[in-house]
Amino acid sequence: MKFLIVGVGAIGSAYLAFLTKAGHDAIGLVKRGRKLNRISVRGIWGEFDTPVKTVEDISLLGSVPDLIILSVKSYDTVSALELIRPVFGKDTLLMIAQNGYGNYEAAVERYGKGRVILARVIFGSRIIEPGAIEITVSADDVVIGDPSGILSEKFLTELADIFTRAGIPTRYEREVYRYLWDKIIYNCALNPLGALLEVNYGTLSENPHTRSLMDRIIYEIFEVTRSAGIETFWKSAEDYKRVFYEKLIPPTAAHFPSMLADIKRGKTEIDALNGAICKLGEKHNVATPVNMVITELVKAKELLNREF
Ligand SMILES: NC(=O)C1=CN([C@@H]2O[C@H](COP(=O)(O)OP(=O)(O)OC[C@H]3O[C@@H](n4cnc5c(N)ncnc54)[C@H](OP(=O)(O)O)[C@@H]3O)[C@@H](O)[C@H]2O)C=CC1
Ligand SMILES: CC(C)(CO)C(=O)C(=O)O
């Protein structure tokens, strides 16, 4: 299987390094001037250093990939989806390895159902320096699946096994879309507040005021998903909140959201998170005042950080 990783940052470097080390034919697409010949990995999944192949121009790829792994930030999704068009062969598949709502939908819009695999990525990777990453946490396996149900369970299970054997624990789940939405709710509640207030997830959970805001963010998301016909694993916001505070936050209490570093650089994925909730709410006539305020505050902070 030929892998092309589009976006060799924290997550993409992990895929490129682990697949290459396992002997797979993997290559990364990087921006001009960002070529990498080696990637070193450290952290919870071990330490190694491996030569890697990268290209700065997709026309230099030389062959059609079997699987393209999209691991750019959500704000780069549409441009990256257009960039891969020349190498998206008749049998090529695409795996979305991103956070947020809208990436999978944009990919299906361009390449069709049954050609796009959805991954719920919930391990943490941080760039130490270009060509060096640390795998910091892993809250669960990566979950992969095809929300359209067209790709076979056999194929997807075999693909998950390839990733697991390469060192990235992965499993197939038919309900991958619900797993993604679980993560969207979790990221919408935690990431913007952690970024704006510069505190970790545990602090957000202990503070009565941020807890009240997270409750309202979650409540609005459940109103929106219910109106949009989006199925989650939960009967109600109350059901989810119990697990959120008691099960999900404690093991990641010390974690600061990646959005904190992003907001300092003046660009975040807010439009694929709380911003996407607002857009879905508008479409389905559901008010999302708290998600709206949070989205505007993050955008204001992005702008202020870009200007100074
Ligand atoms: N890091 C983590 O721990 C986790 C991340 N995620 C999600 O995974 C996705 C990727 O995140 P992450 O790896 O952290 O992001 P990074 O910013 O570290 O990596 C994205 C990389 O893609 C590059 N890129 C963007 N557009 C192109 C393009 N057209 N061609 C080639 N390269 C391109 C970026 O370059 P440049 O920087 O120059 O724009 C950057 O190097 C996000 O949706 C994130 O939310 C999910 C779980 C955990
Ligand atoms: C790193 C981790 C696991 C923290 O929740 C994550 O998945 C994210 O930040 O999106």
Q: What is the pLDDT of residues 28-68, one digit of tens each?
A: 999 999 999 999 999 999 999 999 999 999 999 989 999 99
- Whichever domain contains 168, its CATH number is 3.40.50.720
Note whether 103 and 188 are same-domain residues: no
Note whether 15 and 151 are same-domain residues: yes
User: Which amino acid is located at 65 in the chain?
Assistant: P
Answer with the one of 112, 142, 173 that is the final residue of a domain. 173
Note whether 230 and 82 are same-domain residues: no
pLDDT at 27: 98
User: Which amino acid is located at 175 in the chain?
Assistant: E
Ligand 1 midpoint to CA 12 (Å): 7
For the chain, the domain total comes to 2
The CA distance from 284 to 162, in Å, is 40
Note whether 164 and 15 are same-domain residues: yes
Catalytic residue, candidates 21, 73, 183, 241: 183
Answer with the one of 154, 173, 192 that is the final residue of a domain. 173
Note whether 102 and 239 are same-domain residues: no
Taking alpha carbons only, the member of 160, 159, 163, 136 closest to residue 252 is 136
Note whether 150 and 191 are same-domain residues: no
> DSSP class of residue 92?
-
Please work out whether the CB of residue 74 comes within 6 Å of at least one atom of ligand 2. no
Please work out whether the CB of residue 137 comes within 6 Å of at least one atom of ligand 2. yes
> DSSP class of residue 247?
I
pLDDT at 270: 98
Which ligand ends up closest to the CA of 75? 1
The CA distance from 125 to 122, in Å, is 10
| Ligand 1: lining residues by beta carbon, under 6 Å | 6-12, 29-31, 71-74, 76, 79-80, 83, 98-99, 121, 124-125, 127, 258, 269
Answer with the one of 126, 143, 173 that is the final residue of a domain. 173
Note whether 17 and 157 are same-domain residues: yes
Question: Ramachandran region of residue 286, left (φ > 0), alpha (ψ -120 to 50) or beta?
Answer: beta
**Residue 279 catalytic?**
no
Note whether 18 and 113 are same-domain residues: yes
pLDDT at 251: 84
ipTM above 0.95, yes or no: yes
Alpha helices, DSSP H, located in the chain: 10-21, 77-83, 103-111, 153-166, 176-197, 201-206, 208-228, 237-243, 258-264, 274-283, 289-307
Place of tokens 């393209």: 68
Note whether 187 and 270 are same-domain residues: yes
Taking alpha carbons only, the member of 222, 117, 135, 134 closest to residue 172 is 117
Inter-residue contact 84 to 205 (CB < 8 Å): no
User: Which amino acid is located at 32 in the chain?
Assistant: R
Note whether 169 and 188 are same-domain residues: no
- Structural domain harbouring 46: 2-173
Place of tokens 């096994």: 161
Low-confidence spans in the chain with pLDDT less than 70: none
pLDDT at 243: 95
Note whether 165 and 193 are same-domain residues: no
- Whichever domain contains 213, its CATH number is 1.10.1040.10
Note whether 50 and 164 are same-domain residues: yes
pLDDT at 308: 73
Nearest-CA residue for atom 6 of ligand 2:
122
Helix axes 10-21, 153-166, angle to 10 degrees: 90
